[in-house]
């Protein structure tokens, strides 16, 4: 492991004014997104859609530091034969790859999940590195609520096994000279309030960093991708933008070592503008030990997907929509976004 090189990539991923595009939707997930815009989820259509994003010159060169790809995409070529990975590199962005293989039910913990994919991961990472990937992503899923057996979740069992898997993945990545994005996501589904989210996320982050230390993961060569402290979608009491910002920063300061170069938030089901406003408010607080940016999927892609709708004549409109959302979040990553700029640029 060359930690200096890993750190160089990690720092570039969270450079001020840029963030990460999560274009790593599984085949099932992107089918749902395409169904919503009445586009058939064929290999060619998926390729055309992602090529549209990667050829958005202004967005990719000015606002996107890295792109998380799916296994299918990292092997695909654009219509003119150029590998999609090369399009990303030519824009000055860093290619990455999702390496987890989804979730399965956790034995003896009804309603809870564990992320799988560690088997043969070392071999897969070598192949992805050879294809151009310089960072990877693994997502753990932690739910808040009542399990199917009526018990309160998450259990410490679910937190521990997912934190252990994240740490094993991160160690394997660094051994392969790939920067790991460590993503422990506490879901915002449910009717819990922001304080319950804070409490669970604190436990999850503390256990994750404990496991990272056990696995001897170099914190300087990784990126954290957490959820924000937010109210559940079904909560009767929705926290304000300022409360989300203040409690998320307090949470992170209590759990995340300063050695971590940066934190790239997931949007987790927030609306486009909510995700931007929350990120901006956190950066406006200032005096933080790590860089805060975005690693959004739906919050960057919902608008361009709708504008594109699978039609070649709509490519320019889709690229404008993508550039707008990337620009707004780039501003938020330095605390310079305002609702006036949002409306003016729309």
Instruction: Quote the pLDDT of residue 345.
Output: 59
Q: What is the DSSP string of 253-276?
A: HHHS-TTS-EEEE--TT--HHHHH
Instruction: Quote the pLDDT of residue 241.
Output: 97
Q: What is the DSSP string of 95-112?
A: EEEE----EEEPTTSTT-
β-pairing, 179-186 vs 135-142, is parallel
Instruction: Quote the pLDDT of residue 342.
Output: 85
Tell me: the pLDDT tens digits for 146-205? 766 667 899 999 999 999 999 999 999 999 999 999 999 999 999 999 999 999 999 999
| Angstrom distance (rounded) from CA 167 to CA 211 | 6
The residue length of the chain stands at 346
Angle between the N-to-C axes of helices 298-308 and 43-54, in degrees from 0 to 180, rounded to the nearest 10: 110
Instruction: Quote the pLDDT of residue 148.
Output: 65
Phi, psi torsion values for 177, nearest 5 degrees: 65, 40
For position 50, which CATH number holds? 3.20.20.70
Q: Which of 47, 123, 46, 33 is nearest to 80 (CA)?
A: 47
Q: How many structural domains does the chain have?
A: 1
Which residues in the chain land under pLDDT 50?
none
Tell me: the pLDDT tens digits for 93-118? 999 999 999 999 999 999 999 999 99
Please state whether the peptide bond connecting residue 213 to the residue before it is cis, i.e. omega within 30 degrees of 0: no
- The one catalytic residue in 18, 98, 207, 225 is 225
Is residue 225 annotated as a catalytic residue, yes or no?
yes
| Angstrom distance (rounded) from CA 149 to CA 249 | 34
- The one catalytic residue in 25, 51, 112, 183 is 183
For residue 72, CA distances in Å to 38, 46, 94, 311 come to: 21, 9, 17, 22
Q: Which of 322, 341, 337, 346 is nearest to 63 (CA)?
A: 322
Q: Can you give the residue range of the structural domain that contains 38?
A: 3-345
β-pairing, 152-153 vs 179-186, is unpaired
Instruction: Quote the pLDDT of residue 149.
Output: 63
For residue 259, CA distances in Å to 59, 99, 163, 333 come to: 29, 24, 19, 19
């Amino acid at each position: 492991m060359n930690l200096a090189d890993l750190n160089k990539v990690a720092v570039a991923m969270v450079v001020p004014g840029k963030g990460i595009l999560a274009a790593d939707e599984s085949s099932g997930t992107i089918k749902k997104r395409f169904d919503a815009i009445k586009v058939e989820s064929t290999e060619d259509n998926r390729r055309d859609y992602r090529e549209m994003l990667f050829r958005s010159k202004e967005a990719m060169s000015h606002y996107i530091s890295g792109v998380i790809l799916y296994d299918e995409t990292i092997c695909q070529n654009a219509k003119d034969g150029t590998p999609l990975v090369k399009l990303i590199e030519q824009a000055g962005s860093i290619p990455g790859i999702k390496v987890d293989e989804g979730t399965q039910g956790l034995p003896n913990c009804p309603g809870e999940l564990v992320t799988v994919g560690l088997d043969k991961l070392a071999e897969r990472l070598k192949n992805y590195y050879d294809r151009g990937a310089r960072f990877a992503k693994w997502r753990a899923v932690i739910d808040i609520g009542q399990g199917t057996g009526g018990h309160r979740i998450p259990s410490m069992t679910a937190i521990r096994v997912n934190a252990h898997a994240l740490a094993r993945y991160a160690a394997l990545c660094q051994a392969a000279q790939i920067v790991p994005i460590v993503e422990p996501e506490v879901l915002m589904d449910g009717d819990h309030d922001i304080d319950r989210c804070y409490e669970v996320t604190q436990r999850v982050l503390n256990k994750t960093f404990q496991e990272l230390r056990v696995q001897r993961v170099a914190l300087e060569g990784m990126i954290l991708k957490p959820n924000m402290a937010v109210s559940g979608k079904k909560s009767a009491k929705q926290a304000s933008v300022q409360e989300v910002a203040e409690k998320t920063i307090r949470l992170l300061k209590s759990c995340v070592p300063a050695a971590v170069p940066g934190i790239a938030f997931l949007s987790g089901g927030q609306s486009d503008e909510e995700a931007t406003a929350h990120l901006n408010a956190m950066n406006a607080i200032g005096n933080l030990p790590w860089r805060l940016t975005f690693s959004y999927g739906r919050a960057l892609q919902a608008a361009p997907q709708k504008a594109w709708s699978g039609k070649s004549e709509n490519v320019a409109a889709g690229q404008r929509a993508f550039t707008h959302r990337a620009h707004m979040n780039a501003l938020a990553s330095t605390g310079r976004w305002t609702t006036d700029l949002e409306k003016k640029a729309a």
